[in-house]
Amino acid sequence: MGDSTAAKVADLLSQMGLDEKIGQMSQLNGGGGHLPEYLAEAMRAGQVGSVLNEVDVEIVNEMQRICVQESRLGIPLLIGRDVIHGFKTIFPIPLGQAATWDPETVKQGAAISAMEAAAKGVNWTFAPMIDITRDPRWGRIAESLGEDPYLCSQLGVAMVNGFQGDDLSETGSIAACAKHFAGYGAAEGGRDYNTANIPENELRNVHLRPFKAAADAGVASFMSAFCDLNGVPATGNRWLMDQLLRKEWQYDGVVVSDWESIVEMTVHGFTADDEGAAYEAVSAGIDMEMASSSYRDHVENLMAQGKISLQQIDTMVARILTLKFDLGLFDNPYTDPGHFSAPLNRSHLTAAKEAAVKSCVLLKNEQRILPLNKSDTNSVALIGPLADQPYEQLGTWVFDGKAKHSVTVLEGLKELLGSEVTVNFEPGLVSARETSRDGFAAAVTAAEESDAVVMVMGEESFMSGEAHSRANIDLPGIQEQLIDAVAAAGKPIVLVIMAGRPLTLERVVEKVDALLYAWHPGTMGGPAIADLLFGVESPSGKLPVTFPRMVGQVPIYYSHKNTGRPASEETCVRMEDVPLGAPQTSLGMSSFHLDAGFKPLFPFGFGLSYGRFQYVKITTSHHSIALGETIDIFADIINAGAHPAEEVVQLYVRDLVANVTRPVKELKGFRRIFLKPGERQRICFTLHTDELGFFNREMNYVTEPGQFHVWIGGSSDASLWAEFEIHE
Give the active site residues: 258
Count, in order, helices (H) and strands (E) of the chain. Answer: 20, 26
- Round to whole Å and give the CA distance between 287 and 255: 5
The number of residues in the chain equals 728
Closest CA to 424 of 469, 463, 392, 454: 454
CB 278 within 8 A of CB 294: yes
Angle made by CA atoms 82, 87, 88, in degrees to the nearest 5: 150
Does an H or E element contain 238, and which? helix 238-238
- DSSP letter for each residue of 659-682: SS---S-EEEEEEEEEE-TT-EEE
Using DSSP bridges, classify how beta strands 706-713 and 645-655 pair: parallel, antiparallel or unpaired: antiparallel
Strand blocks (E) in 459-612: 493-498, 514-517
CA pseudo-torsion sign 504, 510, 516, 521:
negative
User: Cα–chain-centroid distance for residue 579?
Assistant: 45
SS3 category, 636? strand
Closest CA to 201 of 702, 700, 563: 700
Q: Starting at the earlier edge strand, list the strands of the sheet with 630-639.
A: 613-620, 630-639, 680-688
Cα–Cα distances in Å, from 141 out to 60, 144, 205, 277, 341? 32, 5, 20, 29, 32
- Round to whole Å and give the CA distance between 253 and 246: 9
- Round to whole Å and give the CA distance between 392 and 429: 14
DSSP state of 471: S
CB 229 within 8 A of CB 186: no
- Assess whether the previous peptide bond of 128 is cis (omega < 30° from 0): yes
Using DSSP bridges, classify how beta strands 706-713 and 694-695 pair: parallel, antiparallel or unpaired: unpaired
SS3 category, 492? coil
Cα–Cα distances in Å, from 24 out to 47, 77, 256, 318, 717? 7, 9, 12, 9, 51
Closest CA to 726 of 653, 633, 646, 631: 631
DSSP state of 575: G
- Round to whole Å and give the CA distance between 509 and 495: 9
Residues 6+ apart with CB under 8 A from 420: 374
User: Cα–chain-centroid distance for residue 727?
Assistant: 37
DSSP state of 552: G
DSSP state of 167: -
- DSSP letter for each residue of 204-218: IIIITHHHHHHHHTT
SS3 category, 640? coil
- Round to whole Å and give the CA distance between 99 and 109: 14
- Round to whole Å and give the CA distance between 414 and 5: 56
